[in-house]
């Protein structure tokens, strides 16, 4: 018989229980769900591009006033010397583009288009983001309550959703916006219009996210972790907001990124119809509305704000599609 090989304590601790040849430690390291989702999202170059554009747009909206101050941009400065009074169009080609005015000037007053695009960005994103937040909060709370409790509570909330979905939202938004233009709750001017747009768009669109959350909640409430929490004595509010809500973050986040571009288009449509943001404050929808009567003399006046809306909507849609694929555990 051969004598057993003696090893010291240090050598015994240094030897692993199993060795996988050619496998690094990082390749067998466990990853959380958030890490897996981030890895999937990084592999989607299109979604990453959309996310970068969204970040740039948000930064431009948040820093719009400092950007205008640093570069000396004034969105409401008239430059009548840049307008040809005979043609009612900017002097020169391409809408009056120059080094001083990279995107040209508007054909009415010669205002710098770049300055007005930057100044209008915070309005569009604020209205779209605020309306999305309002609809998500209302829809999530009512949807999770309806899905978890069921019974008559679910019936009442479901019928309430059907009622809100039956409203002609565009006509209702026009009537409300037009009726409170003189003042409401101590607000007037630009702040009043922004609050009205956020309320109208957000308050009447919550049933869409509400139905999504309700359906997901009805599926989750039969899961083992909910039954375990109930058997341990957990009550409704704890289960709703500590057990169910964290598992609904993914669909809520994806829906939010997909509904923001819809709200941007809705705000632009209201401004286009004259019940949105009033001049002299710049807004992308208002610029499109002003361009309707002038596009034959200066087509670029309509092209610039239209392109800004197109890029913003496309970026948010690409980001939402990428998040949906990354957060879906069934995707490969």
Question: CA-CA distance, 323 to 332, in Å (whole number)?
Answer: 14
Q: How far apart are CA 106 and CA 300, in angstroms?
A: 9
Higher pLDDT, 327 or 238: 238
pLDDT in tens, 277-291: 777 788 888 888 777
Chain CA centroid to CA 77, Å: 31
What's the pLDDT at 133? 93
Q: Is the pLDDT of residue 25 over 70?
A: no
- For residue 178, give Cα distances in angstroms to 125, 149, 284: 22, 40, 19
CA distances (Å), 242 to each of 79, 136, 218, 265, in order?
Answer: 58, 18, 16, 35
> Residue 4 pLDDT more than 70?
no
Higher pLDDT, 164 or 11: 164
Angle at 107 between CA 104 and CA 110, to 5 degrees: 65
Domain count, the chain: 1
Cα separations in angstroms, 160 against 99, 143, 157, 165: 55, 11, 5, 9
Query: Is pLDDT of 12 > 50?
Result: no
pLDDT band for position 181 (cuts 50, 70, 90) = low
Report the first-to-last Cα separation within the chain, whole angstroms: 54
19 located within any domain = no
pLDDT at 94 over 50: yes
Over residues 225-254, the pLDDT tens digits come to 887 887 877 787 888 888 888 888 888 888
pLDDT at position 182 is: 64
Give the per-residue pLDDT at 288: 80
Q: In the predicted model, what is the mean pLDDT of residues 19-29? A: 53
Q: Average of pLDDT values for 164-182?
A: 75
133 CB-side CA count, 13 A: 9
- Per the prediction, the chain carries an average pLDDT of 80
Q: Is the dihedral of CA 294, 296, 299, 305 positive or negative?
A: positive
Q: Which domain holds residue 128?
A: 57-79+92-327
Residue 34 in any domain: the answer is no
Per-residue pLDDT averaged across 145-174, rounded? 86
Quick one: pLDDT at residue 298?
76
pLDDT value for 313: 87
Distance (Å, whole) CA 264 – CA 35: 31
Q: How confident is the model at residue 138 (pLDDT cuts 50, 70, 90)?
A: very high
Q: Is residue 216 part of a domain?
A: yes
Instruction: For residue 84, tell me if it sits in a domain.
Output: no
Q: Is residue 24 part of a domain?
A: no
For residue 17, the model assigns a pLDDT of 45
What per-residue confidence (pLDDT) applies to 15?
47
What band does 142 get if pLDDT is binned at 50, 70 and 90?
very high
Q: Is residue 49 part of a domain?
A: no
To 5 degrees, how large is the angle CA 39–CA 42–CA 46?
Answer: 145
Confidence category of residue 29, pLDDT binned at 50, 70, 90: low
Q: Is the pLDDT of residue 58 over 50?
A: yes
Q: Higher-confidence residue: 87 or 277?
A: 277
Residues 6+ apart with CB under 8 A from 272: 285, 286, 288, 289
CATH label of the domain that carries residue 282:
1.10.3720.10
pTM for this structure? 0.79
């Amino acid at each position: 018989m051969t004598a057993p090989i003696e090893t010291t304590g240090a050598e015994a601790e240094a030897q692993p229980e199993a060795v996988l040849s050619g496998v690094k430690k990082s390749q067998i390291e466990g990853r959380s769900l958030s890490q897996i989702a981030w890895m999937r999202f990084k592999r989607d170059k299109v979604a990453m591009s959309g996310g970068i554009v969204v970040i740039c747009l948000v930064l431009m909206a948040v820093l719009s006033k400092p950007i205008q101050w640093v570069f000396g941009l004034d969105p409401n400065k008239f430059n009548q010397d840049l307008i040809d009074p005979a043609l009612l169009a900017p002097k020169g080609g391409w809408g009056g583009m120059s080094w001083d005015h990279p995107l040209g000037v508007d054909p009415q007053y010669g205002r710098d288009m770049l300055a007005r695009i930057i100044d209008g960005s915070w309005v569009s994103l604020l209205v779209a983001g605020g309306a999305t937040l309002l609809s998500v909060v209302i829809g999530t709370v009512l949807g999770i309550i309806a899905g978890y409790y069921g019974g008559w509570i679910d019936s009442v909330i479901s019928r309430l959703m059907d009622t809100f979905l039956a409203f002609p939202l565009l006509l209702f938004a026009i009537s409300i916006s037009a009726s409170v233009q003189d003042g409401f709750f101590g607000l007037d001017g630009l702040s009043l219009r922004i609050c009205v747009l956020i309320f109208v768009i957000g308050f009447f669109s919550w049933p869409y996210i509400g139905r999504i959350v309700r359906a997901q909640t009805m599926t989750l409430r039969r899961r083992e972790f909910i039954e375990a929490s109930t058997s341990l004595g957990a009550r409704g509010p704890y289960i709703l907001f500590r057990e169910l809500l964290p598992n609904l973050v993914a669909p809520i986040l994806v829906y939010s990124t997909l509904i923001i571009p819809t709200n941007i288009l809705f705000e632009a449509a209201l401004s286009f119809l004259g019940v949105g943001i009033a001049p002299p404050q710049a807004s992308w929808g208002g610029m499109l509305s002003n361009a309707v009567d002038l596009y034959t003399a200066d087509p670029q006046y309509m092209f610039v704000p239209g392109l800004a809306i197109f890029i913003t909507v496309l970026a948010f849609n690409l980001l939402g599609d990428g998040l949906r694929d990354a957060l879906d555990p069934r995707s490969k």
